[in-house]
Amino acid sequence: MDGNGRWAAARHLPRIAGHREGARAVRRTIEAAIQNNVRWLTLYAFSSENWRRPAAEVMDLTGLLRHYLKNEIAELRANGVRLRCIGDRTRFDPDIQADLANAEAGTSHNSRLNLTVALSYGARAEITAAARAAAAAVKAGTLAVDQLDEAVFAGFLSTAGMPDPDLVVRTSGEQRLSNFLLWQAAYAEFVFMDVLWPDFGAEHFGAALSDFAKRERRFGARPA
Ligand code: IPE
Ligand code: MG
């Protein structure tokens, strides 16, 4: 979800105004996913690198997250959305960590839309943590080195048990992965859109899905 700052700058507004409008786009996108029968949606909300932004902007972003957790979870819950978070949540204030845990537990019975929010997330850190956990399991004698294949390794990632993404959409015209789901997106289709995240809506979601539907996916196999 990229382009909040540019959206605000184009209107001579502070960056927080762009982030607030971005939160509205999140709501529209969740609705669009449900409308289109998409069962899994992952939103990259805050990267492990975003902590390096000016303290005031980090405060604005965590404040927005706090607000969202307090005010939107009931609606997610009522709409059949199951919330999960990936990333290093221990870097957030304790009240946010508690609200995250409550939101996950309170929606765990839902299955209409599996919504994963990547918060303080970085794929390299995730893969490194998985390697460390696998090594610890070997050391503890609960995992044999020969057993460690791709499927077993994926079980040590924060996305264990979730399907790999079929489609990755990046907004704002940037064409980078920026440390997002590096392992999981190995065979994902990519759609780069010129729309700034706060302007993103159902029509963009639908356009990305149509684009995806035209792709021929071979997963490395020979064309038929
Ligand atoms: C939102 O867009 C992404 C977040 C980190 C919340 P940006 O804040 O990166 O906006 P731009 O790239 O400056 O336009
Ligand atoms: Mg950006």
Structure confidence by residue, pLDDT tens digits, 36-58: 999 999 999 999 999 999 999 99
| Residue 42 CA to ligand 2 centre (angstroms) | 17
The fold of the 4-210 domain, in CATH, is Undecaprenyl pyrophosphate synthetase (3.40.1180)
Q: Is 50 a catalytic residue?
A: yes
Q: pTM of the predicted model, to two decimals?
A: 0.96
Ligand nearest to C-alpha 6 = 1
70-90: b (≥16 Cβ within 10 Å) or e: eebbeebbeeebbbbbbbbee
Neighbour count for residue 163 (Cβ, 10 Å): 10
Q: How far apart are CA 160 and CA 181, in angstroms?
A: 12
What's the mean pLDDT in 13-20?
98
User: Does pLDDT of 223 surpass 80?
Assistant: no
CA-derived radius of gyration, the chain: 18
